[in-house]
Structures are given as structure tokens and as C-alpha cells.
Structure 1
Amino acid sequence: MRVLVQGAGVAGLTAAFELASRGAAVTVSEIRPSLGGNASWFAGGMLAPWCECESAEQLVLDLGRDAADWWDTATPGQVTRAGTLVVAAPRDAGELDRFASRTSGHRRVDEDEIALLEPDLAGRFRRGLLFPDEAHLDPRQAMTALYDRLAAMEVAFRFGTDARRIFGFDRQIDCTGMATVDGRLRGVRGEMLILRTPDVSLSRPVRLLHRRFPLYVVPRADHRFMIGATMIESQSGGSITVRSMMELLSTACALYPAFGEAEVLETGVGVRPAFPNNLPLVEASGDTVRINGLYRHGFLLAPAMARQAADFLFSKDKPVELAHETDRQRRSA
């Protein structure tokens, strides 16, 4: 089977891996001149299905609980399995209790255990939640590693190419996100900073719950940290706003004051595609299968959606299925 995958973001790369692993001859087309620069490039890389259920449906946990294993298989060495730590200042203790009531897979930790887990946070927080089975990765390193793996599997890449000008394939997988013409989709803008400071060390993603501006910090190599939190209903991909930068920086300093002396290495904005229910979708039309609506869960949910798309292509006479509706039917059976 000759398959053209449109888009080299996380959805496209994971789909290409699933298809090539099953014997398809895969070509990936990407309108950008090289890998990166899309919404996936500005992601946090948190493989945190239990935490995400604070605001997402159970389906996100069901689809995402195996994501760390998938990334470990596809990109060995890229996944860090250290869990997620959620903390709140004493005045926001109610936010911590609310978060705990909406999630599972955690245990409560006190001030002493927080100090053992993250020594730089010693004495700053009295209570927290540890989600021990969660993981994280650096999206850019993971995408580059997956690209190299795909190239070794003889997947062809055509950068700087409009997929509408490519012919001769049996099937196509549309993974173009917001570029897809679909009136159901809306854009959700996420803004991020990358800071560097030798004065801070963290072993795992830390989420600071705050009544006004919650924040997450994801550690990366060389004392770099990805700072993010914003979810703005907007399709604008312009630069980060002054308001968002001030809020991100001030909240990061509330987590640990040494962030005030950090270098700002990069700011970025990614517009994530979302359907009205914020759940992903796999559907078919003619010879094209579409994967879309990953919302803020790209690296977490892309493996499961890629498997479903590959299952669809390799199953004869299978009806068109909505991934989330199919899963609900399975769970209720």
C-alpha cells in the first residue's frame, strides 16, 4: 500500500511510523521547508494523562495511558519517567483539593517529601500531589529522533511541497491540523517561554496551581525549562503578548524565585486544532483518512490516533468511525 501522509507534525510522524511498521510504503509531505516550526514544535511534551483529566474527559486517559510506552519504542531514550508534581501555595490549598478530586493516579505528598523529590522546592510548599506513572519528553528532540527513525525505515520526506501537487498514492492521511478545511475546527492558542538558569534544577514537570494563572514547568537539558499555561481561544499565530509573558514570568518566580535571574532563550506560540468537544477524531472520506483535533494533547494522544488510522487503512470494509465515539461504545459494552 502506497500512502501519502500530509503534515510532518506529531500527528503525521506518528501516523507514518505506524503505517511503515505495518509494511506500507510511506511518503510524508510538509509545506514547511524543514522539520519543526509547527504547533508540535512549541508543545510542552508532558505525557500526563492522569493530570489532564482535571479538565478533560476520561477518554483522554484511556487513549493516552500507553503514550510513554509508544514513544519509548519509537524513539528509545527520549522519554523520562519521573512522574508529575503538582503543588500550590497555602492560600491556594483549595485549588489542590479541587485538582485531586478531579483526577486519579496520584498520592498526596507533604513538605518533607516535596523536598526529597525536588530539593530546590524545599520549604516552599506544604502539600502536593505526585502522579508517579506520568512521563515527559522534549518535543523537538523526540520529533527529530522519530524523523531519523522513519528515514531509516525508508519513509520518504518531501519538504516545501504542497500535498495537492503529489499524485500516485493509494491512500492519504491528512494530518495538517489547522490547515485542514473543516468548519468544525477552532484554534486554541498556546504561548510558551524557554528559560535557562543554572540556579534551578528540576527532575520532573511541576504544575503550580494558582487561582488566577496556573502554570507548568517542564525541565529540559542544559538547565533549560519550558514554561507554559495559556489556552486562548484564537487562531492568531502572532508573537506572545506582553500580558502573557508577564504572567508566565511572574508565576514562574512564584514557583521558585531564582527564575527571576533566568535567561529568556525563546518565546513561542502554537495554535492547536480542537473540535467543539475537545476530543480527537479519526474519520475517512474517499481515499483520505483524517486525524485532527488533538487540542492540547498532541504528544499524549497522537500515538493512539495513529494506531486507529492505521487500523482503518489495513482493515477491509471497515465503516467510518469517530475515534471518541467508537471508544465510548467499547467502554459501555
Structure 2
Amino acid sequence: MKCLSSSNAKAASCTVKSDLPIPLNNKQLEHKKIAILGGGLVGRLLAWRLSSESYDSTKDNGIKSRVEITVFEKGSLSPIPADSDKAAAFTAAAMISPMSELVASELEIYKLGQKSLTLWPLWLSQLGSSQHFHQQGSLVLAHPNDVGELHQFKRDLSYKLNQQSNAAALKVLSDRQQLEALEPAINSHFQNGIYLPTEAHIDHNEVLQDLIIQAEKLGVNFSEHCCLEPNDERLKDYDIIFDCRGTGLKEKGFRGVRGEVIRLESKEVTLKRPIRLMHPRYKLYIVPKPNHQFIIGATEIESEDKSSISLRSSMELMSALYAVNPAFAEARIISQDTNLRPAYMNNLPRIEQSLSDLGKPIIRINGLYRHGYLIGPALVEQALEAHL
């Protein structure tokens, strides 16, 4: 669908046969016309959930939507790493790791992450994408010279988990045998670590594509290369506007935080779960992806620079990978990518409601920082329950 050239744009519905998500029978959505600004993770989750809540079965077992939903994305809906205006959702490793994040994040992030841990498998099952959800935990490791960082992480996390009556979420691996039982490919100089068994990760590129496919089957229109703001006159015919533009939001106290990832391919190494590598200066992660691929990245860089990844960053990331298993030396670099994660000054997300200049209700979901996949589903559910 092309970007609106006027305020009169009809969102076409379609009737298909498919395995439909469970409807929530939200009568308030009936006959509404909804605009979603931003086609990243939150925008796609919203489009799919709203459409799945508002479909009617037809006589031939097809569907007929009771709402009109259009998603407007300023960039491409299927971007390549070189695209400068893509959603932050594409520059990610997609770890669902509330325990790992608890040490350095607010309790609210942990609670939202715990909720998302229950929503992701449910929603992906409804989406027909269960194969893209992997819940085999995560490992936290440190080089022998940095083992003090690991011990400090363990103390801090144990204290916070005890406060949440969730001490069982952390298991200390005290010898090489325990570590090897989980990840045989880990370099032998790692002798102990921390195992967080309930954490998960998803194949995010595949899930992002599946969300569009299923939402379109439910009647949603997606319009790419279309940069709209909530007060745009072209949105005057819409009843509700969801603002999920990420760093497209321009207001005081809001910023972008740089993220860098490298995607590689190696048929020599097999990992089952994300690995976090503790270091005094930075925190690195390695996450397995389909087709013998891996994503490596650093958690955050306090900068709004979107230029290409630096030589220093590349060397640090790749040296971490090599340390985990020297066989990664023969890995092939698929892509290197940078992007900005949307964040308020306190690094906490917000769900806000206001009125546009045209008197239309605006529901804004933003500030997911580097926790998009961790808290996205919980925020979407919270927004729909609170405002619809």
C-alpha cells in the first residue's frame, strides 16, 4: 500500500482461510478505523493483536474484520542492514532475559519481562510460529581474569531474585563438567558460570515477517516509506491513533541509544542458548540464530551516532566470539549493523494517552530502550487492556 496522498484512504479487508488467533471479543473496537504509526516490533504486535481481537468468522470459514487497521512505517518493512531508517527491531538479538537484566535495570523491567516470557510462547503458537521461540535458558560467563565480575553479578542477581522470591531462577555452575553438559562447544578455559534456565530467545527476523503475514490475512494494511505524525491532517478520518514511532518521536527528555550487532555464520560451532560475557568495560552477548548463524553485540553505547560500526567495536565483539570458541575464527561475516534504541531519560517505557490537534485519541507506546523483545508483548497487552 502506498503512503496516503490525501485524508481519504480506505483500508481494504480480505477474507482467507487460516488458523486464527483466539479472539478477545472486544466490542469497543467494532467499526473503528485505527492508524498505527511505526511498523517495528510494537507496531506489528499491535496490528496483529487488534486484528485478531476483532475478526468475525464467515460462512466459508474465512474472516471478516470489524475494524480497519493501517500501519504506517517511515522506512522499509523488510529492510536490509544498510538501510538507515529501519526500525530498531531489526538491529537486535531478541533475548527474553528478565533475570539477566535485573541487575542493571529497574524492577519494572523484570516484571514486564516475566509477563512477556508467558506471552511470547502463547502468541507465537497462535501465530503459527512456535518454532521461533527457544526457551533453553542463558549462560553468563567470564574469562578467568574477569571472574570477579561474574561473582559480583551473581551476588547482585541473587539478592534481587531473593527479594522477588525467585531464587530458583539462578543456578551456579561450579565446574567445567556442569558447563560442558549445557554447552559442549564452550572453550575449555571457562570453568564455571551462571545458568538462568527460564530465559529464552526468539528468531526475530522470522517473527517480524510472520506478524505482517498473519496481520494482512486478518485485513490489516501496511504502508511503508510513509512518515506520518499524530497531528497529520491525513489521519483525520481515523478514530484511534497508536504512536509507536520509536526514535521518530521528537520531544525533550527523549533520546536514541546506539546499538551495534554483527551477524555471522559458522557451521563449526553449535550453541543452544544466548551467552553473556562479563567484562569490566562492556557486556557482550552471543545469540544463536537459524541456519548456523549467530548475532553478537554489546548491550548499550550512550550515543545517537548511527554511523557504521567502528574498528574498535568490531575487534572487541569478534575477540569475544573467538574467546568462546576459537573455531569462530573461520566464521563468515553476514552483516554489521547499527541503530538507535528509543529511550526516555530514566530508561523506562511509557504508555501515554492524549488528544491530537484534530481531537483524535492518541495512545503512545515508546521508550522500550534495549528491551524491545523483552517487554514488548507485555506493554502491548497492557496498552490494550488499559485504553480499549
The normalised TM-score by structure 2 is: 0.78
Please give the alpha-carbon distance, in whole angstroms, between the structure 1 residues aligned to 2:117 and 2:219: 24
Residue pair 1:74, 1:149 contacting (<8 A) in 2 also: no
- Give the letter for the 1:33 counterpart: S
Please give the alpha-carbon distance, in whole angstroms, between the structure 1 residues aligned to 2:316 and 2:188: 23
Please give the alpha-carbon distance, in whole angstroms, between the structure 2 residues aligned to 1:214 and 1:254: 14
Residues 188-207 of structure 1 show CA distances to partners (whole Å, capped at 9, x for unaligned) of 10101011111111000011
Please give the alpha-carbon distance, in whole angstroms, between the structure 2 residues aligned to 1:289 and 1:111: 50
2:76 matches 1:18: no
User: Aligned-pair distance for 1:145?
Assistant: 1.2
2:362 matches 1:288: yes
User: Aligned-pair distance for 1:291?
Assistant: 0.6
2:159 matches 1:94: no
Equivalent in 279, 302, 319 of residue 233 of structure 1? 302
Please give the alpha-carbon distance, in whole angstroms, between the structure 1 residues aligned to 2:210 and 2:335: 22
- Equivalent residue, structure 1, for 2:257: 188
User: Aligned-pair distance for 1:72?
Assistant: 2.2
2:176 matches 1:111: yes
Residues 243-284 of structure 1 show CA distances to partners (whole Å, capped at 9, x for unaligned) of 111111112112222222211110001200111111100001
Please give the alpha-carbon distance, in whole angstroms, between the structure 2 residues aligned to 1:25 and 1:111: 56
Residues 294-326 of structure 1 show CA distances to partners (whole Å, capped at 9, x for unaligned) of 000001111111112212331xxxxxxxxxxxx
Quick check: 37-46 or 20-29, which moved more?
20-29
Secondary structure of 2:48 counterpart: helix
Equivalent in 77, 91, 106 of residue 42 of structure 1? 91
Please give the alpha-carbon distance, in whole angstroms, between the structure 1 residues aligned to 2:258 and 2:201: 21
- Equivalent residue, structure 2, for 1:29: 72
User: Aligned-pair distance for 1:176?
Assistant: 0.4
Residues 85-141 of structure 1 show CA distances to partners (whole Å, capped at 9, x for unaligned) of 111122212111111122232110131111011111162311111110010012111
Please give the alpha-carbon distance, in whole angstroms, between the structure 1 residues aligned to 2:198 and 2:147: 23
Equivalent in 32, 37, 49 of residue 6 of structure 1? 37
Please give the alpha-carbon distance, in whole angstroms, between the structure 2 residues aligned to 1:111 and 1:55: 27
Equivalent in 207, 215, 223 of residue 158 of structure 1? 223
Residue pair 2:144, 2:189 contacting (<8 A) in 1 also: no
- Equivalent residue, structure 2, for 1:83: 137
Counterparts of residues 292-303 of structure 1 (less than 5 Å):
292-303=366-377
Secondary structure of 1:65 counterpart: helix
- Equivalent residue, structure 1, for 2:341: 272
Please give the alpha-carbon distance, in whole angstroms, between the structure 1 residues aligned to 2:152 and 2:68: 48
Larger radius of gyration: 2
CA-based RMSD of the aligned residues comes to 1.5
- Give the letter for the 2:362 counterpart: T
Quick check: 154-163 or 171-180, which moved more?
154-163
Secondary structure of 1:121 counterpart: coil
Equivalent in 123, 127, 134 of residue 74 of structure 1? 123
Call closer, same or farther: CA 1:230–1:131 in 2, change over 3 Å. Answer: closer
- Give the letter for the 1:90 counterpart: P
Structure 1 portions without partners, runs of 5+: 315-333
The normalised TM-score by structure 1 is: 0.90
Residue pair 2:39, 2:77 contacting (<8 A) in 1 also: no
User: Aligned-pair distance for 1:68?
Assistant: 3.3
- Give the letter for the 1:117 counterpart: L
Q: How many residues align?
A: 314
Structure 2 portions without partners, runs of 5+: 1-31, 55-66, 80-85, 162-168, 356-360
- Give the letter for the 1:51 counterpart: S
Quick check: 150-159 or 276-285, which moved more?
150-159
Please give the alpha-carbon distance, in whole angstroms, between the structure 1 residues aligned to 2:294 and 2:77: 24
- Equivalent residue, structure 2, for 1:143: 208
- Equivalent residue, structure 2, for 1:214: 283
Please give the alpha-carbon distance, in whole angstroms, between the structure 2 residues aligned to 1:72 and 1:155: 23
Quick check: 17-26 or 107-116, which moved more?
17-26
Please give the alpha-carbon distance, in whole angstroms, between the structure 2 residues aligned to 1:178 and 1:145: 24
- Equivalent residue, structure 2, for 1:203: 272
Call closer, same or farther: CA 1:230–1:304 in 2, change over 3 Å. Answer: closer
User: Aligned-pair distance for 1:49?
Assistant: 0.6
- Give the letter for the 1:19 counterpart: L
Aligned-pair identity in percent equals 36
